[in-house]
């Protein structure tokens, strides 16, 4: 109950900060999403570049029409989706970890984390995608033996891909536990999911094929090029993405011409720098950006990187901004440390779905070693960290039944992982 009250208080605080003492100024992709949503709501021509999947502007536009022309209803719906995401995570944790306390802690960490809660108020697709991903995971874990639920799973995964496309390459691994141990029956289940995904995606693929190509969206080359050219260990510092996007637009008349130009530039850069030099540079930078203590919420506070540019929460009183920033930093540090230590008391060994979640974390880490990184990209895998942190919290509360007794080597490895994660989050400035 205390976690629920705190979550309600956090949401009330964020609603207040959105409008008082001045409305929050939209920033970055939010401006594009808001403009597209207004155009779609007014039935005006609205084209989104093929770098971005098309679902989120349509989601906003529909809620804008229902909400009388403002984004208030969209924000309320996103708050509700965040709450539903916490319930899904709680049930997933209960099924996969086997501890009610661990499940409660995982859900509480999700809704009490300001960096996550803030996206319920921002016009970015993170919360919608988070809900769709957790809904898909829940169906896979709890209902994968029922054909109607598998059809629904295909729809949910299709909508997730139409919202954010990074999940696409991971889908075969995500569906692998459905096949393992089930033989032909498992293959039939996956075929049903794939058919439902195809039905969901086909209209968008056909529409895009007329002017760009038979795909949903493709930002891989652009994000790879920018990721290889990022300079700072911290997001929003010495950024190159805006400049590179303008160069991308000028590089060709069509999407195919622009992506061909990017491919040529990437090949030339690899030849010039060499793989080893590139890898050293990426390792020295990317994970600091991904795990940095600052998030899109703290960056929008008056002293943050976005706030200093005149966007975000421009006039929030400094004591209130300090409270939100401190809350965010402390809870994030707890999540990182507890999640790493949770691997010692609750390793995934012998459990296919736990391995799938660890695989999803590894997939994100591998992708963002090279792709352009912003702090908001970690929201997709924060529920995995919350689940592991919940397991460690339950172990600390002497709830030993579902957990293992870690060896000294397991404790040492987990402690080292916790120290590394905290250093990546907070230690970057020490290297500058």
- Give the number of other CB atoms < 10 A from CB of residue 44: 9
pLDDT band, very low/low/confident/very high, at 349 (cuts 50, 70, 90)? confident
Tokens 């200093």, residue located: 308
- Tell me the C-alpha distance between 102 and 339, whole Å: 12
Instruction: Please tell me the predicted confidence (pLDDT) of residue 358.
Output: 94
Instruction: Please tell me the predicted confidence (pLDDT) of residue 224.
Output: 97
The pTM assigned to this predicted structure is 0.96
Q: Each residue of 142-165: pLDDT tens digit?
A: 999 899 999 999 999 999 999 998
Q: Which two tokens stand for residue 60?
A: 């906003």
pLDDT at 236 over 80: yes
DSSP code of 67? T
pLDDT at 280 over 80: yes
Q: Which residues span the domain enclosing 48?
A: 2-431
Task: Specify the higher pLDDT residue, 165 or 121.
Answer: 121
Print burial letters for 296-309: b (CB count within 10 Å at least 16), e (below 16): bbbbbbbebbbbee
Number of structural domains in the chain: 1
Q: Which two tokens stand for residue 248?
A: 């991308």
Counting every residue, how long is the chain? 432
- Tell me the C-alpha distance between 29 and 52, whole Å: 10
Q: Each residue of 296-328: pLDDT tens digit?
A: 999 999 999 999 999 999 889 999 999 999 999
Q: Which two tokens stand for residue 148?
A: 């109607």
Q: Each residue of 39-86: pLDDT tens digit?
A: 999 999 998 999 999 999 999 999 999 999 999 999 999 999 999 999
């Amino acid at each position: 109950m205390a976690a629920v009250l705190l979550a309600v208080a956090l949401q009330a605080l964020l609603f207040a900060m959105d409008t008082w003492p001045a409305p929050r100024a939209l920033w970055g992709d939010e401006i594009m999403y808001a403009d597209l949503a207004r155009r779609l709501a007014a039935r005006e021509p609205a084209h989104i570049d093929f770098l971005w999947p098309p679902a989120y502007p349509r989601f906003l536009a529909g809620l804008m029409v229902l909400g009388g022309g403002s984004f208030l209803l969209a924000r309320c719906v996103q708050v509700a989706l965040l709450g539903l995401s916490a319930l899904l995570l709680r049930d997933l944790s209960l099924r996969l970890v086997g501890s009610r306390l661990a499940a409660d802690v995982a859900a509480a960490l999700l809704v009490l984390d300001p960096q996550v809660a803030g996206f319920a108020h921002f016009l970015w697709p993170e919360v919608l995608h988070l809900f769709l991903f957790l809904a898909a995971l829940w169906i896979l874990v709890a209902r994968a033996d029922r054909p109607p639920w598998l059809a629904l799973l295909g729809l949910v995964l299709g909508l997730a891909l139409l919202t954010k496309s990074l999940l696409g390459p991971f889908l075969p691994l995500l569906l692998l536990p459905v096949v393992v141990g089930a033989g032909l029956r498992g293959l039939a289940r996956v075929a049903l999911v794939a058919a439902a995904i195809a039905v969901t995606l086909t209209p968008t693929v056909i529409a895009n094929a007329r002017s760009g190509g038979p795909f949903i969206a493709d930002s891989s080359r652009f994000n790879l090029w920018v990721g290889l050219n990022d300079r700072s260990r911290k997001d929003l510092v010495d950024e190159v993405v805006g400049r590179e996007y303008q160069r991308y637009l000028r590089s060709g008349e069509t999407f195919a011409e622009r992506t061909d130009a990017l491919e040529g530039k990437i090949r030339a850069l690899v030849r010039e720098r060499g793989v080893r030099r590139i890898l050293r540079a990426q390792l020295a930078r990317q994970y600091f950006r991904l795990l940095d203590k600052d998030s899109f919420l703290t960056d929008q506070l008056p002293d943050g990187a976005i706030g200093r540019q005149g966007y975000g929460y421009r006039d929030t009183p400094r004591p209130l901004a300090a409270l939100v920033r401190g809350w965010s930093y402390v809870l994030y540090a707890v999540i990182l440390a507890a999640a790493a230590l949770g691997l010692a008391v609750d390793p995934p060994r012998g459990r296919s779905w736990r391995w799938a979640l660890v695989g999803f974390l590894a997939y994100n880490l591998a992708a963002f070693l090279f792709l352009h990184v912003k702090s908001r990209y970690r929201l997709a895998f924060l529920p995995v960290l919350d689940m592991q942190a919940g397991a460690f919290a339950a172990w600390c509360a002497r709830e030993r039944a579902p957990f293992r007794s870690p060896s000294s080597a397991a404790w040492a490895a987990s402690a080292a992982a916790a120290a590394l994660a905290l250093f990546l989050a907070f230690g970057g400035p020490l290297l500058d």
